[in-house]
Structure 1
Amino acid sequence: MEKVATVTLDQNGHFFGEISGKGFDLTATGLRAVDLMLISIGYCFGLTVEAYTKHKGYEINDLKIDVVGKKDEKENRYSYILIKVSFKSDLDDKQIQRIMEIGKRGCTVSNTMLKTPKIETKFTPE
C-alpha cells in the first residue's frame, strides 16, 4: 500500500503537512521534524499496545511512552532510540513482556527505521 504525504511551504514561511485529506500547520506546532519522528514512534507503539491489550481483554491504565533519542556525535541522525513504557495493571511479568514484544513488532514506524528504506529524491517541475 502506498501513501502520499505532502509538505508545502507558503509565502509566510510556514510548512503545512497533509496526508489522506488531513492537514495541519507544521510550523505552528513549534516542533522540529525530529520531534515529530520521536512522537510518531511513541504513538505507533501506543496504538499497537492498545489494540493488543483490548484484543486480549487486558486492562491497562495510565499508559505512558517516553521515546528517548540520542543524537549521533558525528552524523546527522539518531544513533540510539529507547522506548520506555509504563502503565498500571494487574498483569504478570510474562504478559507485560508479551505486550512489549507486540508493541515493538507491530509498529510500522519503528519497523521502518529498523530496516532502512531506500529513500530517493526526484525533482518534478510544476
Structure 2
Amino acid sequence: MARVELTAQRGKIEARIGEDTVLFKSSGAESEVGHWPTEYILAALGSCFSGTVFSYARTKGLPLEKVMVALEGEVVSGPSRIASITMEVEFLGNLTRAEKEQLLAVGERACTVMNTLKRGVETIVTRLRD
C-alpha cells in the first residue's frame, strides 16, 4: 500500500511521503515553490522503470552500470491531462544490443508506474473526512 498525506494552503502545497516533505506548484493555490505535479508523474515513471531494469539486470548477471532516462510529457486540456509521454533510455555498461533491447522490454512490461499509466487506475474513490 502506498500512502501520501497532503496539505494545501494558498501559496504552499506540501506532500508528506514517509519522513520527507515534497513541495508542489499550483496555479490554483497560487504556489510557486516546488515542481508541477505532472513533473512528479514523469519522475515516478523514470525512477520505477530504472529500478525495475536494475533489479532484472542484477538477477540475470548483466553488467548494467547506469540508466539514463529523459522524459517529456505533453499536457493538454479537455480534460486536463498528460496525453502522451516520450521516454528516451540509455543503458551504460558492457551490454550487447540484444541485452539492451531485453532490458527495455522488461522495463516496459514490469514497471508498476508504466503499467498504471498504460492501463489506468481501475478505481479512484474520493470521500470527505469528518
TM-based fold match above 0.5: yes
Which residue of 1 is the match for residue 19 of structure 2?
A: 22
Q: What is the RMSD of the two structures over their aligned residues, measured on CA atoms?
A: 2.1
Distance 1:3 1:90 in 2: 35
Asked if the contact 1:16/1:23 (under 8 Å) is kept, the reply is no
Distance 1:73 1:13 in 2: 23
Per the TM alignment, residue 73 of structure 1 is displaced from its structure 2 partner at its CA by 5.5
Which residue of 1 is the match for residue 97 of structure 2?
A: 93
Change (3 A) 1:57 1:83: same
Identical pairs, percent? 25
The reply on whether 1:120 has 2:125 as its aligned counterpart is: yes
Per the TM alignment, residue 88 of structure 1 is displaced from its structure 2 partner at its CA by 2.3
Instruction: Output the TM-score relative to the length of structure 2.
Output: 0.80
Distance 1:96 1:63 in 2: 11
The reply on whether 1:107 has 2:111 as its aligned counterpart is: yes
* Runs of at least 4 residues off by over 6 Å: none
Aligned residues: 122
- For structure 1, the residue ranges without an aligned partner over 5 or more in a row are none
Asked if the contact 1:63/1:85 (under 8 Å) is kept, the reply is yes
The 3-state SS of whatever aligns with 1:26 is strand
